[in-house]
Amino acid sequence: MATLGIPSNTIAVLEKYGFHFQKKYGQNFLIDPNILENIISAAKIGKDDCVLEIGPGIGTMTQYLAEHAGQVIAVEIDDRLIPILKDTLSAYDNVMVIHDDILKVDVQKLCDAYNGGKPIKVVANLPYYITTPIIMGLFESRVPLSSITIMVQKEVADRMKVGPGTKDYGALSLAVQYYAKPEIVAQVPPNCFIPRPNVGSAVIRLTRYEAPPVKTRDEKKMFSIIRAAFNQRRKTLVNSLSNAGIYGITKEKAAQALEKMGLSATIRGEALTLKQFAELSDLLD
């Protein structure tokens, strides 16, 4: 089978199967071999690795993964792509294609079946609308994974990486940075895709921490405080928390906790670090 990273080969496969892109799946297929090589090297894929690929499309990146990894599990939601994947991946006996929605897949079961329960690596080219649920689902479910290397919209990659006091900083930044170390490893212009998206993309690698960089007594509570802080960005943190309806948190308690931390009662959530959110959560516990 011809290598799909080359644009003419991708177009030939799409024409052979009369494939039309569907907006609801946010499909943009990569057609740049250099970017594909960059993703493989950024994810540090080797023969000992079991890789979970989310949204393989027609199998472009899957081919590259299969060449480098020991085992590839590719989960594709679009039933029209399953026969195409059978064709484009027929040369590889180390690829398992699963037709399902990744948000409904038992990833732990896959880890146990294909990698003896050891940590897997996740690689994906993700559409904007589903990026956060997929990443947070993988982290929160505590499945054994060592890294997630994903292609996302550039602004989403920026959001995962930034610190306090910037307009992109928010609940996603804090959640990602609680679970993993984020590093942007490549910028990808729109002309590297078919069809061409309206915005630039970036490849970001999230290396999973063995233990979170901050300690908190109640992780769930900390994240409900973080979400509340950014749900109404323009409001003070005290007002955001008192409006959120979190059990036991009143305006007075929030103000007292901030005072104990040496912070102003008029501070906004976007000014607090992850460590400060952990401290605030424990004070409000």
pLDDT tens-place string over residues 212-261 = 999 999 999 999 999 999 998 889 999 999 988 888 899 999 999 999 99
51-64 average pLDDT score: 96
53 pLDDT above the threshold of 90: yes
Task: State residue 259's pLDDT score.
Answer: 97
**Given this model, what pLDDT does residue 117 score?**
94
34 located within any domain = yes
Question: Residue 225 and residue 39: Cα distance in Å, rounded?
Answer: 35
Within-domain flag for 214:
no
For residues 139 and 266, membership in a common domain is answered with no
CB 53 within 8 A of CB 61: yes
pLDDT on residue 21: 87
Q: What share of the chain has pLDDT > 70, as a percent?
A: 99
The region, left, alpha or beta by phi > 0 then psi within -120 to 50, assigned to residue 116 is left
Task: Check whether 203 has a pLDDT greater than 90.
Answer: yes
State the Cα–Cα distance between residues 84 and 13, nearest whole angstrom: 8
- Helices and strands, number each (H, E), in the chain: 12, 9
> The domain spanning residue 235 has which CATH number?
1.10.8.100
Domain of 224?
219-283
Q: Please tell me the predicted confidence (pLDDT) of residue 234.
A: 87
In a domain, 228, yes or no: yes
Any domain includes 27: yes
pLDDT for position 1 = 58
Residue 213 placed within a domain: no
The verdict on 58 and 129 lying in the same domain is yes
Number of structural domains in the chain:
2
Give per-residue pLDDT as tens, 63-86. Answer: 999 999 999 999 999 999 999 999
Indicate if the alpha-carbon torsion angle 57, 79, 206, 228 is positive or negative. positive
For residue 172, pLDDT over 80 is answered with yes
Per-residue pLDDT band for 52 (boundaries 50, 70, 90) equals: very high
- pLDDT greater than 80 at residue 45: yes
Which of 156, 184, 208 is the endpoint of a domain?
208
How many C-beta neighbours within 10 Å does residue 254 have? 25
223 in Cβ contact with 214 (< 8 Å): no
Q: How would you classify the pairing of strands 193-194 and 29-30?
A: antiparallel
Per-residue confidence (pLDDT) for residue 129, from 0 to 100: 82
Strand order in the sheet with 71-76: 95-99, 71-76, 50-54, 120-125, 145-153, 201-208, 180-188
pLDDT of residue 232: 84
Length of the chain: 285
Asked if the structure places residue 1 within a domain, the reply is no
Question: 145-153 and 120-125 as β-strands: parallel, antiparallel, unpaired?
Answer: parallel
Q: Give 276's contacts (C-beta < 8 A, 6+ positions apart).
A: 261, 263
Task: Write down the pTM of the prediction.
Answer: 0.93
Residue that finishes a domain, picked among 164, 186, 208 = 208
Query: Per-residue confidence at 46, pLDDT binned at 50, 70, 90?
Result: very high
